Amino acid sequence: MSKEIKRVAVFTSGGDAPGMNAAVRAVVRNATHKGLHVYGIYNGYQGMIEGKIERLETKSVRNIIHRGGTILKTARSKEFMTKAGRQRAYDSLQAFDIDGVIACGGNGTFTGAKIFHKEFGIPFIGIPGTIDNDLYGTDFTIGFDTAVNTAVDAVDKIRDTADSHNRLFFIEVMGRHSGYIALYTGIGSGASGILLPEKSTDTKELTDALKKGLKRNKLFSLVVVAEGDESGGAIQMAEKIKKEFPQYETKVAIIGHLQRGGSPTCADRVLASRLGSEAVNALISGKTNMMLGIINNEIAYTPFEDAIKKAKPFNKDLIQLAEVLAS
Protein backbone atom coordinates (compact mmCIF):
# COMPACT_ATOMS: atom_id res chain seq x y z
CA MET A 1 0.00 0.00 0.00
CA SER A 2 1.15 3.53 -0.69
CA LYS A 3 2.04 5.72 2.27
CA GLU A 4 -0.69 8.02 3.51
CA ILE A 5 -0.11 11.55 2.27
CA LYS A 6 0.01 14.11 5.07
CA ARG A 7 2.60 16.61 3.89
CA VAL A 8 3.04 17.77 0.31
CA ALA A 9 5.54 20.11 -1.30
CA VAL A 10 5.13 22.17 -4.46
CA PHE A 11 7.73 23.84 -6.65
CA THR A 12 8.09 25.50 -10.04
CA SER A 13 10.97 24.71 -12.35
CA GLY A 14 12.41 25.50 -15.78
CA GLY A 15 11.21 28.55 -17.68
CA ASP A 16 8.55 30.61 -15.91
CA ALA A 17 5.06 30.64 -17.39
CA PRO A 18 2.06 32.89 -16.65
CA GLY A 19 -0.35 30.87 -14.52
CA MET A 20 2.24 29.14 -12.35
CA ASN A 21 1.12 31.22 -9.38
CA ALA A 22 -2.49 30.18 -9.97
CA ALA A 23 -1.36 26.53 -9.91
CA VAL A 24 0.56 27.01 -6.65
CA ARG A 25 -2.47 28.75 -5.14
CA ALA A 26 -4.74 25.85 -6.11
CA VAL A 27 -2.33 23.29 -4.63
CA VAL A 28 -2.16 25.15 -1.34
CA ARG A 29 -5.89 25.83 -1.11
CA ASN A 30 -7.00 22.27 -1.93
CA ALA A 31 -4.33 20.60 0.19
CA THR A 32 -5.26 22.79 3.15
CA HIS A 33 -8.94 22.03 2.53
CA LYS A 34 -8.09 18.30 2.68
CA GLY A 35 -6.26 18.72 5.98
CA LEU A 36 -2.73 18.39 4.59
CA HIS A 37 0.33 20.44 5.43
CA VAL A 38 1.79 22.22 2.39
CA TYR A 39 5.36 23.34 1.80
CA GLY A 40 6.79 25.53 -0.92
CA ILE A 41 10.22 24.77 -2.36
CA TYR A 42 11.97 27.89 -3.62
CA ASN A 43 14.22 27.96 -6.71
CA GLY A 44 13.22 24.58 -8.10
CA TYR A 45 15.49 21.55 -7.68
CA GLN A 46 18.36 23.76 -6.51
CA GLY A 47 16.22 25.01 -3.66
CA MET A 48 15.29 21.42 -2.84
CA ILE A 49 19.00 20.60 -2.55
CA GLU A 50 19.67 23.65 -0.38
CA GLY A 51 16.65 23.09 1.85
CA LYS A 52 14.89 26.31 0.85
CA ILE A 53 11.54 24.98 1.99
CA GLU A 54 8.87 26.68 4.05
CA ARG A 55 5.31 26.07 5.17
CA LEU A 56 2.60 27.60 3.01
CA GLU A 57 -0.86 28.40 4.32
CA THR A 58 -3.97 29.87 2.75
CA LYS A 59 -2.80 33.40 3.51
CA SER A 60 0.53 32.66 1.79
CA VAL A 61 -1.18 32.54 -1.60
CA ARG A 62 -3.54 35.49 -1.27
CA ASN A 63 -3.62 37.92 -4.15
CA ILE A 64 -1.35 35.94 -6.49
CA ILE A 65 -3.76 34.40 -9.02
CA HIS A 66 -3.40 37.41 -11.34
CA ARG A 67 0.39 37.69 -11.09
CA GLY A 68 2.80 36.51 -13.76
CA GLY A 69 6.05 34.71 -12.99
CA THR A 70 6.19 32.51 -9.90
CA ILE A 71 6.34 33.45 -6.21
CA LEU A 72 8.37 30.27 -5.62
CA LYS A 73 10.96 31.42 -8.17
CA THR A 74 12.60 29.02 -10.59
CA ALA A 75 16.13 27.93 -11.41
CA ARG A 76 18.03 25.27 -13.30
CA SER A 77 20.25 22.95 -11.29
CA LYS A 78 23.32 21.12 -12.61
CA GLU A 79 23.88 19.71 -9.14
CA PHE A 80 20.53 17.88 -9.25
CA MET A 81 21.80 16.01 -12.31
CA THR A 82 24.26 14.21 -10.02
CA LYS A 83 23.45 11.38 -7.62
CA ALA A 84 25.04 13.32 -4.76
CA GLY A 85 22.85 16.34 -5.51
CA ARG A 86 19.70 14.24 -5.58
CA GLN A 87 20.71 12.65 -2.28
CA ARG A 88 20.96 16.11 -0.71
CA ALA A 89 17.53 16.96 -2.14
CA TYR A 90 16.06 13.76 -0.64
CA ASP A 91 17.60 14.57 2.73
CA SER A 92 15.98 18.02 2.62
CA LEU A 93 12.55 16.52 1.92
CA GLN A 94 13.05 14.02 4.74
CA ALA A 95 13.91 16.83 7.15
CA PHE A 96 10.40 18.22 6.56
CA ASP A 97 8.72 14.77 6.45
CA ILE A 98 7.47 15.42 2.90
CA ASP A 99 5.28 12.55 1.65
CA GLY A 100 4.70 13.73 -1.92
CA VAL A 101 5.78 16.44 -4.34
CA ILE A 102 3.97 18.45 -7.02
CA ALA A 103 6.24 19.79 -9.76
CA CYS A 104 5.15 22.50 -12.21
CA GLY A 105 7.38 22.70 -15.28
CA GLY A 106 8.27 21.00 -18.53
CA ASN A 107 10.38 18.17 -19.94
CA GLY A 108 13.46 18.82 -17.83
CA THR A 109 11.40 19.09 -14.66
CA PHE A 110 9.61 15.80 -15.31
CA THR A 111 12.84 14.01 -16.27
CA GLY A 112 14.31 14.97 -12.91
CA ALA A 113 11.14 13.88 -11.11
CA LYS A 114 11.13 10.50 -12.85
CA ILE A 115 14.74 9.78 -11.89
CA PHE A 116 14.23 11.03 -8.34
CA HIS A 117 11.14 8.85 -7.84
CA LYS A 118 12.99 5.79 -9.14
CA GLU A 119 15.90 6.36 -6.75
CA PHE A 120 14.04 7.37 -3.59
CA GLY A 121 10.40 6.42 -4.03
CA ILE A 122 8.99 9.88 -3.28
CA PRO A 123 5.62 10.22 -5.10
CA PHE A 124 5.67 12.94 -7.77
CA ILE A 125 2.84 14.51 -9.78
CA GLY A 126 3.64 16.90 -12.62
CA ILE A 127 1.74 19.96 -13.82
CA PRO A 128 2.60 21.16 -17.35
CA GLY A 129 3.88 24.72 -17.02
CA THR A 130 5.51 25.98 -20.22
CA ILE A 131 4.51 28.58 -22.78
CA ASP A 132 5.64 26.33 -25.66
CA ASN A 133 2.65 23.94 -25.41
CA ASP A 134 4.95 21.10 -26.47
CA LEU A 135 4.17 18.39 -23.90
CA TYR A 136 2.53 15.13 -24.89
CA GLY A 137 -0.56 14.31 -22.82
CA THR A 138 -2.31 17.67 -22.72
CA ASP A 139 -4.07 19.85 -25.27
CA PHE A 140 -2.71 23.00 -23.63
CA THR A 141 0.02 23.84 -21.15
CA ILE A 142 -0.10 26.56 -18.50
CA GLY A 143 1.16 29.84 -19.95
CA PHE A 144 0.53 29.10 -23.62
CA ASP A 145 -2.70 31.07 -23.93
CA THR A 146 -1.16 34.13 -22.26
CA ALA A 147 1.96 33.96 -24.44
CA VAL A 148 -0.15 33.77 -27.61
CA ASN A 149 -2.35 36.68 -26.56
CA THR A 150 0.76 38.74 -25.77
CA ALA A 151 2.23 37.90 -29.18
CA VAL A 152 -1.01 38.67 -31.04
CA ASP A 153 -1.29 42.02 -29.26
CA ALA A 154 2.28 42.85 -30.32
CA VAL A 155 1.63 41.82 -33.94
CA ASP A 156 -1.53 43.95 -34.01
CA LYS A 157 0.55 46.96 -33.02
CA ILE A 158 3.20 46.13 -35.62
CA ARG A 159 0.42 45.86 -38.22
CA ASP A 160 -0.41 49.53 -37.67
CA THR A 161 3.08 50.74 -38.48
CA ALA A 162 3.48 48.21 -41.32
CA ASP A 163 0.31 49.57 -42.91
CA SER A 164 1.39 53.18 -42.46
CA HIS A 165 4.78 52.65 -44.14
CA ASN A 166 4.09 49.85 -46.67
CA ARG A 167 6.44 47.48 -44.86
CA LEU A 168 7.15 43.77 -44.92
CA PHE A 169 7.63 42.64 -41.33
CA PHE A 170 9.20 39.38 -40.15
CA ILE A 171 8.09 38.87 -36.55
CA GLU A 172 9.88 36.29 -34.41
CA VAL A 173 8.07 34.59 -31.54
CA MET A 174 9.30 32.05 -29.02
CA GLY A 175 9.36 28.34 -29.81
CA ARG A 176 12.81 26.80 -30.21
CA HIS A 177 11.43 23.29 -30.72
CA SER A 178 7.71 23.94 -31.02
CA GLY A 179 5.74 26.08 -33.45
CA TYR A 180 2.49 26.29 -31.50
CA ILE A 181 2.95 29.93 -30.47
CA ALA A 182 3.85 30.91 -34.04
CA LEU A 183 0.93 28.97 -35.54
CA TYR A 184 -1.73 30.37 -33.22
CA THR A 185 -0.25 33.88 -33.39
CA GLY A 186 -0.12 33.77 -37.17
CA ILE A 187 -3.73 32.65 -37.52
CA GLY A 188 -4.95 35.04 -34.83
CA SER A 189 -3.19 38.04 -36.34
CA GLY A 190 -3.93 37.33 -40.02
CA ALA A 191 -0.29 36.82 -41.01
CA SER A 192 0.64 36.35 -44.67
CA GLY A 193 3.05 33.55 -43.76
CA ILE A 194 3.95 31.35 -40.77
CA LEU A 195 7.30 29.53 -40.44
CA LEU A 196 7.42 26.58 -38.04
CA PRO A 197 10.03 24.04 -36.85
CA GLU A 198 7.54 21.24 -37.62
CA LYS A 199 7.28 22.18 -41.30
CA SER A 200 10.10 22.53 -43.81
CA THR A 201 10.53 26.13 -44.87
CA ASP A 202 9.92 26.63 -48.58
CA THR A 203 11.36 30.03 -49.46
CA LYS A 204 9.81 29.95 -52.92
CA GLU A 205 6.40 29.10 -51.49
CA LEU A 206 6.60 32.07 -49.13
CA THR A 207 7.84 34.36 -51.90
CA ASP A 208 5.01 33.29 -54.19
CA ALA A 209 2.44 33.93 -51.44
CA LEU A 210 3.78 37.43 -50.83
CA LYS A 211 3.77 38.16 -54.57
CA LYS A 212 0.11 37.15 -54.76
CA GLY A 213 -0.56 39.74 -52.09
CA LEU A 214 1.17 42.38 -54.16
CA LYS A 215 -1.00 41.53 -57.17
CA ARG A 216 -4.03 42.20 -54.99
CA ASN A 217 -2.54 45.61 -54.17
CA LYS A 218 -1.69 44.53 -50.66
CA LEU A 219 0.30 47.41 -49.18
CA PHE A 220 2.02 45.51 -46.35
CA SER A 221 2.66 41.95 -45.18
CA LEU A 222 3.39 40.21 -41.89
CA VAL A 223 5.30 36.92 -41.58
CA VAL A 224 5.42 35.17 -38.18
CA VAL A 225 8.54 33.08 -37.57
CA ALA A 226 9.16 30.61 -34.72
CA GLU A 227 12.64 31.13 -33.28
CA GLY A 228 13.44 27.46 -33.90
CA ASP A 229 12.53 27.49 -37.59
CA GLU A 230 15.15 25.82 -39.78
CA SER A 231 15.59 29.04 -41.77
CA GLY A 232 17.43 30.47 -38.78
CA GLY A 233 14.87 32.91 -37.44
CA ALA A 234 13.35 36.21 -38.53
CA ILE A 235 16.61 38.08 -39.19
CA GLN A 236 18.03 35.42 -41.51
CA MET A 237 14.72 34.91 -43.30
CA ALA A 238 14.27 38.62 -43.88
CA GLU A 239 17.71 38.78 -45.50
CA LYS A 240 16.80 35.95 -47.87
CA ILE A 241 13.46 37.43 -48.91
CA LYS A 242 13.85 41.22 -48.97
CA LYS A 243 15.72 41.39 -52.30
CA GLU A 244 12.62 39.94 -53.97
CA PHE A 245 10.47 42.82 -52.76
CA PRO A 246 11.98 46.25 -53.45
CA GLN A 247 8.42 47.65 -53.13
CA TYR A 248 8.51 46.97 -49.41
CA GLU A 249 10.73 48.30 -46.66
CA THR A 250 11.64 45.08 -44.88
CA LYS A 251 11.79 45.11 -41.08
CA VAL A 252 12.31 42.58 -38.31
CA ALA A 253 10.70 42.50 -34.85
CA ILE A 254 11.66 39.97 -32.18
CA ILE A 255 9.04 39.83 -29.43
CA GLY A 256 11.21 37.73 -27.11
CA HIS A 257 10.65 37.40 -23.38
CA LEU A 258 7.63 39.69 -23.34
CA GLN A 259 5.75 36.45 -24.05
CA ARG A 260 6.90 34.94 -20.75
CA GLY A 261 5.61 37.72 -18.54
CA GLY A 262 2.42 39.54 -17.74
CA SER A 263 -0.81 38.74 -16.00
CA PRO A 264 -2.16 35.32 -17.04
CA THR A 265 -5.32 35.17 -19.11
CA CYS A 266 -8.52 33.76 -17.63
CA ALA A 267 -7.98 30.56 -19.65
CA ASP A 268 -4.55 30.04 -18.06
CA ARG A 269 -5.85 30.83 -14.58
CA VAL A 270 -8.66 28.29 -14.90
CA LEU A 271 -6.38 25.64 -16.42
CA ALA A 272 -3.76 26.13 -13.69
CA SER A 273 -6.42 26.05 -10.97
CA ARG A 274 -7.90 22.80 -12.26
CA LEU A 275 -4.55 21.06 -12.59
CA GLY A 276 -3.16 22.36 -9.29
CA SER A 277 -6.20 21.19 -7.37
CA GLU A 278 -6.30 17.81 -9.13
CA ALA A 279 -2.59 17.24 -8.43
CA VAL A 280 -3.39 17.17 -4.71
CA ASN A 281 -6.21 14.68 -5.29
CA ALA A 282 -3.87 12.53 -7.38
CA LEU A 283 -1.29 12.27 -4.60
CA ILE A 284 -3.95 11.47 -2.00
CA SER A 285 -5.34 8.69 -4.21
CA GLY A 286 -1.91 7.07 -4.53
CA LYS A 287 -0.99 8.16 -8.05
CA THR A 288 2.64 8.94 -8.80
CA ASN A 289 5.21 9.44 -11.53
CA MET A 290 2.75 11.02 -13.95
CA MET A 291 1.76 14.35 -15.45
CA LEU A 292 -1.71 15.85 -15.31
CA GLY A 293 -3.13 17.45 -18.42
CA ILE A 294 -6.34 18.48 -20.15
CA ILE A 295 -7.57 16.48 -23.16
CA ASN A 296 -10.95 17.39 -24.66
CA ASN A 297 -11.57 19.51 -21.56
CA GLU A 298 -11.20 16.50 -19.25
CA ILE A 299 -8.40 15.76 -16.77
CA ALA A 300 -5.93 13.25 -18.24
CA TYR A 301 -3.05 11.33 -16.64
CA THR A 302 0.12 10.62 -18.61
CA PRO A 303 3.18 8.72 -17.27
CA PHE A 304 6.28 10.91 -17.10
CA GLU A 305 7.98 8.53 -19.51
CA ASP A 306 5.39 9.28 -22.22
CA ALA A 307 5.15 13.00 -21.48
CA ILE A 308 8.93 13.30 -21.86
CA LYS A 309 9.63 11.03 -24.82
CA LYS A 310 6.52 11.06 -27.00
CA ALA A 311 6.12 13.83 -29.54
CA LYS A 312 2.98 15.89 -29.26
CA PRO A 313 0.95 15.45 -32.49
CA PHE A 314 0.96 18.71 -34.43
CA ASN A 315 -2.39 19.83 -35.79
CA LYS A 316 -1.94 19.69 -39.57
CA ASP A 317 -5.47 20.98 -40.10
CA LEU A 318 -4.44 24.26 -38.45
CA ILE A 319 -1.43 24.54 -40.75
CA GLN A 320 -3.70 24.04 -43.74
CA LEU A 321 -6.16 26.59 -42.34
CA ALA A 322 -3.35 29.13 -41.97
CA GLU A 323 -2.31 28.62 -45.59
CA VAL A 324 -5.88 29.02 -46.85
CA LEU A 325 -6.55 32.16 -44.82
CA ALA A 326 -3.29 33.75 -45.93
CA SER A 327 -3.94 33.12 -49.63
Cβ–Cβ < 8 Å for 179, 225: no
Q: Residue 71: which of 27, 30, 105, 20 has the closest Cα? A: 20
Candidates 16, 99, 132, 268; catalytic one: 132
132 in catalytic set: yes
Three-class secondary structure assignment of the chain: CCCCCCEEEEEECCCCCCCHHHHHHHHHHHHHHCCCEEEEECCHHHHHHHCCEEEECHHHHCCCCCCCCCCCCCCCCCHHHCHHHHHHHHHHHHHCCCCEEEEEECHHHHHHHHHHHHHHCCCEEEEEECCCCCCCCCCCCECHHHHHHHHHHHHHHHHHHHHHHCEEEEEEECCCCCCHHHHHHHHHHCCCEEECCCCCCCHHHHHHHHHHHHHCCCCCEEEEEECCCCCCCHHHHHHHHHHHCCCCEEEEEECHHHHHCCCCCHHHHHHHHHHHHHHHHHHHCCCCCEEEEEECCEEEEEEHHHHHHCCCCCCHHHHHHHHHHHC
Q: Which positions are annotated as active-site residues?
A: 132
